[in-house]
């Protein structure tokens, strides 16, 4: 299958409704990642792996996020804009902030956000998460560090009543990380099937304001 066919079939399997402009923008996004990747090392994948491991993996959250109320979202350690940019295409009423500490990746993000005409509702913030002052209804992180290292920081920037949403891998690893956070911190774990990906994926969803930390 061609990359474009994998993308369309993946969206269909995820139950995500899309228009031709979604496909056009996602294909442009992927072509720019491929173009910049050699110099800036944005992601460790190309071709079909890029589609599956990064684009479809990012978009696998769309059905779940559709049941969560949020008008602002932050993508922590955004890198190449994953998952923030793909999600922004399917949540047009949400203002996204892409938070990234690497200057070279910030350059890529500014370029691609401009090319995709998303500048009016995507903010690009060159910063480490420790220095972020804002509060967001939804705080997203993917391929990020151990929950035990950053949970308190991330919960601090999650608005009251907001959601902290982690893309994670194996359930055994998640349970180990959660156990290190203490008994008073609770999370919903949702198993996800990413199309064409044989590896285990789960979402770990927190409501930090609903308990003491």
Q: What is the pLDDT of residues 97-117, one digit of tens each?
A: 999 999 889 999 999 999 999
What is the pLDDT confidence band of residue 133, given thresholds at 50, 70 and 90?
A: confident
Domain residue extents for the chain: 3-210
Instruction: Please answer whether residues 203 and 64 qualify as being in contact, where contact means their C-beta atoms are separated by less than 8 angstroms.
Output: yes
- Distance (Å) of CA 156 to CA 64, 82, 152: 23, 22, 6
Q: What are phi and psi of 145, to 5 degrees?
A: -75, 180
Q: What's the whole-number mean pLDDT along residues 19-35?
A: 97
Confidence of residue 95 (pLDDT cuts 50, 70, 90): very high
**Alpha-carbon span 209 to 129, nearest angstrom:** 19
Query: In the structure, what pLDDT confidence band is assigned to residue 213 with cuts at 50, 70 and 90?
Result: very low
Kindly write down the DSSP assignment for every residue of the chain, as one continuous string. --HHHHHHHHHHHHT----HHHHHHHHHHHHHHHHHHHHH---S--HHHIIIIIIIHHHTTHHHHTTS--SEEEEET-TTTTTHHHHHHH-TT-EEEEEE--HHHHHHHHHHHHHTT-TTTEEEEES-GGG----EEEEEEES---HHHHHHHHHHTEEEEEEEEEEE--HHHHHHHHHHH-TT---EEEEE--TT--S-EEEEEE-GGGS--
209 pLDDT band (50/70/90 cuts)? low
* pLDDT classification of 1: cutoffs 50, 70, 90: confident
**What mean pLDDT value characterizes the chain?**
93
pLDDT of residue 84: 98
- Say if residue 129's pLDDT is above 80: yes
CATH of domain 3-210: 3.40.50.150
Q: Comparing 143 with 113, which gets the higher pLDDT?
A: 113
Of the pLDDT bands very low, low, confident and very high (cuts 50, 70, 90), residue 147 is confident
What is residue 186's predicted lDDT score, i.e. its pLDDT?
A: 86
pLDDT of residue 195: 98
């Amino acid at each position: 299958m061609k990359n474009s066919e994998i993308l369309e079939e993946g969206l269909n399997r995820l139950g995500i409704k899309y228009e031709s402009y979604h496909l056009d923008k996602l294909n442009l996004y992927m072509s720019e990642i491929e173009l910049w990747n050699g110099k800036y090392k944005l992601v460790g994948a190309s071709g079909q792996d890029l589609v599956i491991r990064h684009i479809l993996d990012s978009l696998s959250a769309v059905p779940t996020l559709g049941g969560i109320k949020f008008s602002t979202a932050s993508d922590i350690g955004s890198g190449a804009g994953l998952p923030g940019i793909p999600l922004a295409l399917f949540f047009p009423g949400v203002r996204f902030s892409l938070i990234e500490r690497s200057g070279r990746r910030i350059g890529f993000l500014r370029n691609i956000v401009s090319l995709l005409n998303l500048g009016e509702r995507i903010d690009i913030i060159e910063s480490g998460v420790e220095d972020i002052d804002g509060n967001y209804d939804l705080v997203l992180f993917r391929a990020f560090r151990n929950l035990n290292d950053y949970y308190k920081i991330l919960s601090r920037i999650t608005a009251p009543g907001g959601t902290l949403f982690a893309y994670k891998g194996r359930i055994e690893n998640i349970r180990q990380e959660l156990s290190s956070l203490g008994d008073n911190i609770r999370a919903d774990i949702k198993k996800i099937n990413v199309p064409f990906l044989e590896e285990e994926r789960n979402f770990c969803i927190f409501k930090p304001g609903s308990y003491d930390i």
